[in-house]
Structure 1
Amino acid sequence: MQAIVNGTVHTVTEQGTIEGGTILFEDGEILEVGPDVEVPNDAETVDVGGKHVTPGLVEAHSHAGMGEWAQPHDGDVNEFSDPVTPHVNALDGFHPRDEELKNAFQGGVTTVSARMGSANVVGGIICSMKTYGDVADRMLIREDGMKAAFGENPKRVHGENYDREPMTRPGVAATLRQALMDAEDYVERRENAESEDEPFERDLGMENLARVVEGDLPLRVHAHRADDIATIFRITDEFGIDELSIEHATEGHVLAEEFVERDVPAIVGPTISSASKYELRNITFETPGILHDAGVKVAIQTDAPVLPQEHLDVCVGLAVREGLPEEEALKTVTRNAAEILGIEDRVGTLEEGTDADLVVWDGPMFELSSDAEQVFVEGERIYSSEEDDVDPREEYAW
């Protein structure tokens, strides 16, 4: 049994922030959090001297573990062979010793939603993963969505590089519509075969897309421009898809009321960027605050390795500077992100029954001068800024 005592504990629950708080955990799970927790005499105790303690940070849109940090190629992010690749799964390309993951947990990021890239209109299954571990299967929390992409990326990759559809925004929209129609037809044929007790030839991609049209798997759509976001809303309305998120949402603030009306969350970023392509021309750190004020559930992302994964806290701090309320800042990379991904029963808060993923900071998480001093994943201290041997797996060449 272990305990962190004398902390400024940010539970990100109705308990709020507890001064002089204690977190008691065992076997990777939090047992109790509060100001008056009784700590057994034989518990391993860490007195943090009033420092800030938060849940491990959750990045709701990342390619950490997929993109092969510092390598001059695309890693395993994009399956370029076709604009519609629902059959691929990020778990099969996740590399537990990608350097980006080490940078992540040393920066307090203990969970990422690792996904395929934005080259394809339909990109494949996305997985919520712990950033520390030795085997991808044991790092997996859940499959949290199906990746899709609108705008300039699929147009450029397929239209310009391979001279095939989609070459235009209408082509992107039509490609997604056709994929969803194919999935609906597949479900109908499968149901008919089952009712008639007839053989049925399965298709991996259609099985995965069927989960989207049946509401079992959220659609997570890369979109920057407001007109692309509006098109996504139009298409998901047509197909009755309620489980979705808009990712990047660079001009999401323009359609804030549409997000609220549909109860669709926005995962905003990466915003430390120049307008490297036309659809980013209105990029601003004001977007998270505007969306939050309108009533949209907001998460913040780095899109690692587009931005270094360990700088997720920096992105939050810059959003605070531009209007995101301080009391909401931590939620964008903990509770909100976990709820969007459907993993709030495991991560994103400090409360009984959740994983003992937590970070001790030397200042408020979102302040640029603050650092993660200690990081725990499922109760194991995997990083300490005061120790030379910060990772117990170092004997396995990173």
Structure 2
Amino acid sequence: MPADNPARPAPRDVALVGGRVLRLTPDWAGEQEEATVLLRDGRIAAVGADVEVPAGAEVVDVTGQWVLPGFVEAHTHLGVHAEGEGWHGADVNEKGVAGARLRSLDGLDPADRGFADALAGGVTTAMILPGSGNVVGGQTAAVKTWGRTVQEMLLRAPVGVKSALGENPKRGGGSAPTTRMGVAAHLRDAFSAAQRFAARRARAVAAGDPVDPAVDAERDQEVLARVLAGEIVWQQHAHRADDIATAVRLAEEFGYALVLNHVTEGHLVAGMLAEKALPAVVGPLLTSRSKPELRNRSVAVPGILAAAGVRIALTTDHPVVPIQFLALSATLAVKEGLDRDEALRALTVNPARILRLDDRVGSLAPGLDADVVVWSGDPLDVMSRAVRVFVGGRQVYRWADGEGVVADPGTGAGPA
């Protein structure tokens, strides 16, 4: 885990007792149990009805409340498109000079009020992506939603590289492609250059020649070579069915790991996605049909994809939809046909597995990060709210006396 702030006292053992626990592990089949969740040294130490609470542990009685892993939001612009700043304050799209070497972390502001909103909505891990104004937007990062600095919040980076198909990159201006053909050609050129770069590097290593650091355009190629090697994923913005098909075609041509994002018309190609075992980050669902690519937007899409056998995650695309409405998105998807248990998976274990973070987050399992949320009731009930949020074993959010209180990231003080 990232280094803790030495100014904060280390959290002691915390035992959440008497709650209705949903583990959301990969083999979870909807079970709910009255159990204890023990948090120690920033990790989940034990989960079960027979867990022994050690002497000196802080015991938190959560009888009648629901205990789940913190939600994992798979596609956000938290910190790079800050709340209250408008588009003029957004650091999501680099104008004119975009590429894989750009890093979302370098534009992230931990003071963005959206992080407090995330905690109020039970979201403890967020994927931070550049915007979709460029064909290749830059590197993505997974962060915790509480912390004083980027390094304290960082879970993993890079997780992947953001790329966009469709209308958005066509409107990028300057030397950007202006047609779907041009966007696809740009990606083929970029990956072909990365293949040549990787081959040159391999030849140099085999010959025992010194390998100089990448410079200029080579820095983009070096990152894309990591995508080609399978080290990080390709996070592809695609709404229309034809753009989804183009994303699949390019991934098969170059052999990289593809994670589809938005997938507004995924229901039109659900069989193809299931056959190819391609995951989908679906959403945002709570939007109008604000552009041509969203003409076929439907809250039923997640249920159709999941029923076809596609592993799905849900997203708000914050700030397109405020991040605290992630659970509400799942509730509405259930109303339109998504299996209820699958909706909970789509907020937790599924995005963690899709983004290769399941060794750290997404489930209540011993050894994983102690990112745990106590809900007043069923999180898919719109009247329920997150009442306690733990990140790394420390309580960082509490709902009490009619308001939510976030612990001070600088000192770790509160909430009681």
TM-score, length-normalised on structure 2?
Answer: 0.91
The one-character-per-residue Cα deviations of 1:312-338 (angstroms, maximum 9, x if unpaired) are 111111101100011111110100010
- For 2:19, the equivalent position in structure 1 comes to 7
Instruction: Please say if residues 79 and 114 of structure 2, whose CA atoms lie closer than 8 Å, have aligned partners that are also in contact.
Output: yes
Alpha-carbon separation, structure 1, partners of 2:78 and 2:207: 45
Instruction: Please say if residues 53 and 359 of structure 1, whose CA atoms lie closer than 8 Å, have aligned partners that are also in contact.
Output: yes
- For 2:185, the equivalent position in structure 1 comes to 174
Decide which of 30, 50, 55 is 1:36's aligned counterpart: 50
Change (3 A) 1:8 1:120: same
Alpha-carbon separation, structure 1, partners of 2:330 and 2:121: 13
The one-character-per-residue Cα deviations of 1:191-232 (angstroms, maximum 9, x if unpaired) are 122223335551321111110111111101000000000011
Q: Which moved more, 1:90-99 or 1:53-62?
A: 90-99
CA positional deviation for 1:238: 1.0
Q: Which moved more, 1:215-224 or 1:8-17?
A: 8-17
Query: Is 1:280–2:291 an aligned residue pair?
Result: no
Q: Which consecutive aligned stretches of 4+ in structure 1 deviate over 4 angstroms post-superposition? A: none
Alpha-carbon separation, structure 2, partners of 1:373 and 1:273: 27
**Number of equivalent positions:** 390
Decide which of 367, 370, 390 is 2:381's aligned counterpart: 367
Instruction: Please say if residues 6 and 50 of structure 1, whose CA atoms lie closer than 8 Å, have aligned partners that are also in contact.
Output: yes
Decide which of 206, 209, 222 is 1:198's aligned counterpart: 209
Instruction: Please say if residues 163 and 236 of structure 2, whose CA atoms lie closer than 8 Å, have aligned partners that are also in contact.
Output: yes
For the aligned residues, what is the CA RMSD? 1.5
Change (3 A) 1:395 1:24: closer
Secondary structure, in 3 states, of the residue corresponding to 1:3? strand
Q: Which moved more, 1:187-196 or 1:276-285?
A: 187-196
Q: Which runs of 5+ in 1 are unaligned?
A: none
Decide which of 347, 356, 376 is 1:333's aligned counterpart: 347
Query: Is 1:260–2:274 an aligned residue pair?
Result: yes
The one-character-per-residue Cα deviations of 1:120-152 (angstroms, maximum 9, x if unpaired) are 111111001101011111211112111000000
Residue type of the alignment partner of 1:209: L
Residue type of the alignment partner of 2:85: Q
- For 2:159, the equivalent position in structure 1 comes to 144
Secondary structure, in 3 states, of the residue corresponding to 2:250? helix
Decide which of 132, 136, 156 is 1:122's aligned counterpart: 136
The one-character-per-residue Cα deviations of 1:21-60 (angstroms, maximum 9, x if unpaired) are 1101111111100112111232100111121111001000
- For 1:322, the equivalent position in structure 2 comes to 336
Q: Which moved more, 1:220-229 or 1:14-23?
A: 14-23
Alpha-carbon separation, structure 1, partners of 2:404 and 2:186: 50
Secondary structure, in 3 states, of the residue corresponding to 1:364? coil
Change (3 A) 1:283 1:74: farther
Q: Which moved more, 1:191-200 or 1:60-69?
A: 191-200
Secondary structure, in 3 states, of the residue corresponding to 1:275? coil
Query: Is 1:212–2:227 an aligned residue pair?
Result: yes
Q: Which moved more, 1:108-117 or 1:378-387?
A: 378-387
CA positional deviation for 1:302: 0.3
Q: Which moved more, 1:9-18 or 1:276-285?
A: 9-18
Instruction: Please say if residues 78 and 319 of structure 2, whose CA atoms lie closer than 8 Å, have aligned partners that are also in contact.
Output: yes
Alpha-carbon separation, structure 2, partners of 1:48 and 1:240: 48
Alpha-carbon separation, structure 2, partners of 1:268 and 1:191: 38
CA positional deviation for 1:17: 3.2
Q: Which runs of 5+ in 2 are unaligned?
A: 1-12, 412-416
Equivalent positions of 1:25-104 (< 5 A) are 25-72=39-86, 73-82=88-97, 84-104=98-118
- For 1:230, the equivalent position in structure 2 comes to 245
